Amino acid sequence: MERLIFHVDVNSAFLSWEAARRVGNGEKDIRLIPSAIGGDRDKRTGVILAKSIPAKKFNITTGEPVAMALRKCPDLFLAKPDFRLYEKCSKAFMDICRDYAPAVEKYSIDECFLDMSGTKHIYPDPVALAHEIKDKIRDTLGFTVNIGIGDNKLLAKMASDFEKPDKVHTLFVDEIEAKLWPLPVRGLFSVGRATAERLKKAYIATIGELAKAELQRIQRLVGVKLGQQIHDYANGIDNSPVLSKAEDAKGYSISTTLEDDVKTPEAAHKVLFVLADSVSSRMRTDEAKAYCVAVTIRGNDFKNKSHQKKLTVPTDITSEIFEISKTLFAELWDKHTPLRLLGISLTDVSKDGYEQATLFPDEERERARRMDKTIDSIRNKFGMDAIARGSSAQSVEIGKKYKAQMENKSKSEK
């Protein structure tokens, strides 16, 4: 059966969702003015997460510091992130997609794949169908999407990134030479800046040049695995399925960029505690445990360092993960470089429920596990902010995406 895949991508999602809410409340449409989502205007901290088309005229870019964006455009309208809103809007547009597609894969909060293979008798014109889905999302929810159509996920995703906003584009195999190959190699999915520079130095500047190059040459330039992948992608090859059910997580991670640099172990421990609380809660929701805990730090010199510890017995216990994280942090930090970012990762995940038995169970560990279970139960019933652990009651805003996901999940189950 011939494959037919749609990729639906919300145009400037965070800003579009904030704008749609404001328009629904009778306020001005911030998509029509220089505006952005991210950070704190008064403190001039944080980074730009999304920006309007008028903001692009001031060369404001996603990921740049708020202070830099405000220097470029002093009148920039800045709205703070609202992950509860984002999760709500994400679910709403994907629910519309599920009305049409046999299988829908959530790829990220603002994009999904639809497997429309075998539906041509129901929907004989895929382009007309894509316009119908696009217009229904716009007219029902108040924000726009791009939809790409292709023979596989890679081609559909590349097509959706053509001209924006509120557009439908196709990229079928017989269109690759005309539509894909003339594009710069940096525009190919999975080709980062460093890889593009390496290819460019080897006189491979376009996707077409990459597609026609000898595979072994590309692998010598960027490595065997990545070389195979980008060479396949340049030739439109991608056999990955649309997964309507998410694959099990291979790991859990969380990090936070700090408003004020951390300069003391005590301040770092407070942040690590909140990180451990959030990431362990996510893992317990999936009934998983980790055999490896890692901590990452970034100084104000923008250099990352990380350290990990392998465990003989897997854990999902917040206090245990926190204690291990403190030890790893002490081994990492030089005690004088101010820190801009802290993160915790839990990997080597197991869901088999097995834990080595012992004749002398650790009572303290069992008490900690019971406490975690009680706190999780209260949060699931009354909301993520219903209870805070000790020092995590401080105003460290971490894990907002996960809180929003859990709150929306709780509402949908009632």
Verify whether residue 111 is a known catalytic residue. yes
The dihedral built from the CA positions of residue 148, 37, 269 and 273, taken in this order, carries a sign that is negative
Pick the catalytic residue from 18, 87, 111, 407.
111
User: What does the H/E/C string look like for the chain?
Assistant: CCCCEEEEEECCHHHHHHHHHHHHCCCCCHHHCCEEECCECCCCECECCEECHHHHCCCCCCCCEHHHHHHHCCCCEEECCCHHHHHHHHHHHHHHHHCCCCEEEEEECCEEEEECCCCCCCCCCHHHHHHHHHHHHHHHHCCCEEEEEECCHHHHHHHHCCCCCCCEEEECHHHHHHHHCCCEHHHCCCCCHHHHHHHHHCCCCEHHHHHHCCHHHHHHHHCHHHHHHHHHHHCCCCCCCCCCCCCCCCCEEEEEEEEEEECCHHHHHHHHHHHHHHHHHHHHHCCCEEEEEEEEEEECCCCEEEEEEEEEEEECCHHHHHHHHHHHHHHHCCCCCCEEEEEEEEEEEECCCCCCCCCCCCHHHHHHHHHHHHHHHHHHHHCCCCCCCHHHHCCCCCCHHHHHHHHHHHHHHC
CB atoms within 10 A of CB 188: 21
Active-site positions read 111
